[in-house]
Structure 1
């Protein structure tokens, strides 16, 4: 539940920031007439992910076991791709998000302003689709438990409240630090979903090695124990992964973490260059 709460919180805050920037800019330039269209686009962006989530949840039951495993494994890998892209995208564009949205909104306001509907739908809907797909993958990985979905909903509700408070200026959050730490945690969560997707594809016979387990620590950490359940719910812990799952998990975590750290360091240097620390000038002797 905690992992999906953070997913919902992070994605919800991103969406809230986007909506807040769009609404504030529309109000600033005196185009209150397009606000209903903006909220209409946001409404579409909320409804579509709900429909996708429902389709993924109830659609596969008429399929064969192999088809379900292929669908589940494939969509898990797609979800990992989306989340990984989202982590790096926010790290790259967070500092320019406001100006980018302003430029797009200027173009969307031409004429009657119906382009605002498209802009709001695409900007907010992307966050919703990423959330729906990743939450569905984590729900599937823990055997259909609804706790991950509940966690995500609670995270989204929290994000909506925080987004309103941020827009009104009642609270202030270090968004850079927030996205940095949640991004690092999501890499760990995505690694577990990646390994789970590999396992599904092995069960379907698409990938080899389904019976070749790297280790089995089930006697030490039973999957049915409370701590095993907590680990599974947070990082998709598997006490007996196959060799391919373990190799995939290590490769994903290792490669993504290296690039994430490099991006963070580059962003830190860029901010330092843009806002250099003033150097105190040497005290000059006083002339008599």
Structure 2
């Protein structure tokens, strides 16, 4: 795969995995409209904003782009966390929460993705026109869509109790990756960064999982996996992921009973 295809794959997985898990849960109660409507609206909003910036007289600085990405990533972590808490405590997720989770999952990649799309579109219509970047991006997104659909179908086939528990765990891992993404982006935007030992690489797996390979790209899109993270990034990941997984996989219910299928199905009631 070339770079544009890999970018499309990463973008599609980063946005689609969380939404697919959310849809698999709310599909049991037929409350999918807020998710689909928000997906279409937020995508159109960022494409419009990206078009204005790409073809306008001024473009956002790298620091501004990092600030937007980092802020929206941290907001997405908060929304996903609240969604998981409601899921595991047996309380319905209101439509406003479904809208917030969907919008923020798209938003954290929205500005960069929109700018990349319009840059590829401009390359396809310029003086030295080449449709390759646009076609590569479309191919990567299509592959990601197939993978996300498989994830959705697999979750739907599981029983209600297993679905709620393991979906909560998967969302916890995804949120941990988003937290690392948010912290790293805010540091790139100028926020106080780690120094000393915290800024040193915790390990280096680039030879085993090259970041420009399809599987390295897929892991980055799904859980923001970095083959050479810093000590700070690893610390942030574990501080969130460990409690989130313990909470998600706890064998006992919280709040209302979560032992029966009926209770599970009500957890995603909009």
Over aligned residues, Cα RMSD in angstroms?
A: 4.1
- Give the 5 Å matches for 1:33-182: 46-59=36-49, 61=53, 62-93=59-90, 97=92, 123-124=94-95, 126-137=97-108, 147=140, 151=144, 174-182=159-167
Tell me what 2:264 maps to.
none
Q: 2:186 aligns with which of 178, 201, 204?
A: 201
In structure 1, distance between residues paired with 2:35 and 2:222: 27
Q: Which of 163, 177, 189 lines up with 2:174 in the alignment?
A: 189
| Residues 183/74 of structure 1: CA separation in 2 closer, same or farther (3 Å cut) | same
2:235 is the alignment partner of 1:247 = yes
Q: Work out the CA distance in 1 between the residues paired with 2:148 and 2:46.
A: 21
Alpha-carbon separation, structure 2, partners of 1:77 and 1:138 = 12
Change (3 A) 1:93 1:266: closer
Q: Alignment length, in residue pairs? A: 216
Change (3 A) 1:259 1:271: closer
The answer to whether the 8 A contact 1:8-1:152 is kept is no
Report the CA distance between 1:251 and its aligned residue. 0.6
Q: CA deviation at 1:88?
A: 1.6
Contact kept in structure 1, 2:19 and 2:105, CA below 8 Å: no
**Contact kept? 2:174, 2:223, Cα under 8 Å:** yes
**Contact kept in structure 2, 1:79 and 1:130, CA below 8 Å:** yes
The CA distance in 1 between the partners of 2:254 and 2:66, in whole Å, is: 40
List alignment gaps of at least 5 residues for structure 1: 21-41, 98-121, 164-171, 274-288
Q: Is the 8 A contact 2:25 2:164 kept in 1?
A: no
- State the TM-score, normalizing by the size of structure 2: 0.62
What is the CA–CA distance in structure 1 between the aligned matches of 2:88 and 2:144, rounded to whole Å? 24
TM-score scaled by structure 1? 0.59
The gaps in structure 2 that reach 5 residues or longer are: 1-11, 54-58, 117-136, 261-270
TM-aligned CA distance change 1:149 to 1:77, over 3 Å: farther
More relative contact order, 1 or 2 (CA 8 Å, 6+ apart):
2
Task: Output the CA distance in 2 between the equivalents of 1:141 and 1:251.
Answer: 27
Equivalent-residue separation in structure 2 for 1:157 and 1:179 (angstroms): 18
The answer as to whether partners of 1:192 and 1:236 remain within 8 angstroms in 2 is yes
Distance 2:142 2:103 in 1: 9
1:12 matched to 2:23: yes
Report the Cα offset of residue 239 of structure 1.
1.4
Does 199-208 or 50-59 show the bigger shift? 50-59
Contact 2:34 2:95 in 1 (8 A): no
The answer on whether the counterparts of 2:176 and 2:240 sit within 8 Å (CA) in structure 1 is: yes
Structure 1 stretch displaced more, 194-203 or 225-234: 225-234
Structure 1 residues 64 and 240: alpha-carbon distance in aligned structure 2, compared to 1, 3 A threshold:
same
Partner of 1:234: 222
The aligned runs of 1:264-283 (5 Å cut-off) are: 264-267=251-254, 270=257
